[in-house]
Each structure stands twice: as C-alpha cells, then as structure tokens.
C-alpha cells in the first residue's frame, strides 16, 4: 500500500533552517509529484511547493519563494523540504502529499516549532 513517512518533530531557533524528509513506498516514486503543505495553529492549510519526482521540476509558493527548496532522491524514494530564515510564524505541521492531480496520499505530518 502507498505510504509516505516523514521525519520527526523539530525545534529550531529564529533564523535557522529546517529540512524535512518524506520517504515513499508502495508505488513507483518517479511517476508522481510530491507536494508540501503546512498547517499553522488555527489556520487553513497552505500549499508551499511541488516537485515532479520524475524530472525534478519544481514550483514554489510566491509567498515563500527564496526561502523554500524542495528536492528528491529517486534512489531513496525520498523527497525533502528545506525552509530557511525561520520565523515564529513558520511554526506549523508540515505535510508531504502525493499527487499529480488530487493529493491522494499524505504523510503523517512533521511538527516544526520555531522558538528562541
């Protein structure tokens, strides 16, 4: 069965960077895109970025452009999200989700807390 397993919770200081991983199994990794979505406390879900796991093409939210980078390692069936210049408002649960069109499978989420 399709599974996306994310790395564990992180606590970071303001200004630092964080890298979250998303390991896929149960399907051919390079045939689907991986999207990254975050959910801050009390806020609606926010789409952050997308990577075509087949050819490495990426697209980023304009709001986060310049601070966010998504990559993938097809040999490890793993996608990565890196967010730099962390601020308190980046405190959120970060999800990866599979999907060329609908996001049909999601990771369990990774809590990133930004605090001094």
Partner 1 sequence: EIVLTQSPATLSLSPGERATLSCRASQSISGNYFAWFQQKPGQAPRLLIFDASNRATGIPDRFSGSGSGTDFILTISRLEPEDVAVYFCQQYGDSPRTFGQGTKVEV
**Rounded least distance, CB 102 to partner 1, Å:** 4
| Binding flag, residue 27, partner 1 (CB under 8 A) | no
| Binding flag, residue 38, partner 1 (CB under 8 A) | no
State which residue, 80 or 95, has the beta carbon closest to partner 1. Answer: 95
From the list 38, 57, 59, 54, the residue with the least C-alpha distance to 107 is 38
Q: What share of the chain is helix, strand, coil (3-state, %, to 5)?
A: 10, 50, 40
Residues that bind partner 1 (CB under 8 A): 35, 37, 44-47, 59, 61-62, 95, 97, 99, 101-109
């Amino acid at each position: 069965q399709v599974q996306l397993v994310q790395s564990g919770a992180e606590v970071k200081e303001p200004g630092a960077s964080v890298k979250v991983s998303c390991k896929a199994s149960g399907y051919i990794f390079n045939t689907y895109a991986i999207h990254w979505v975050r959910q801050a406390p009390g806020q609606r879900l926010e789409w952050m970025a997308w990577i075509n796991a087949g050819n490495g093409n990426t697209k980023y939210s304009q709001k986060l452009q310049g601070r966010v980078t998504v990559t993938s390692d097809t040999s490890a069936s793993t996608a990565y999200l890196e967010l730099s210049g962390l601020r308190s408002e980046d405190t959120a649960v970060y999800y990866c989700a599979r999907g060329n069109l609908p996001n049909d499978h999601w990771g369990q989420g990774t809590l990133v807390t930004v605090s001094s």
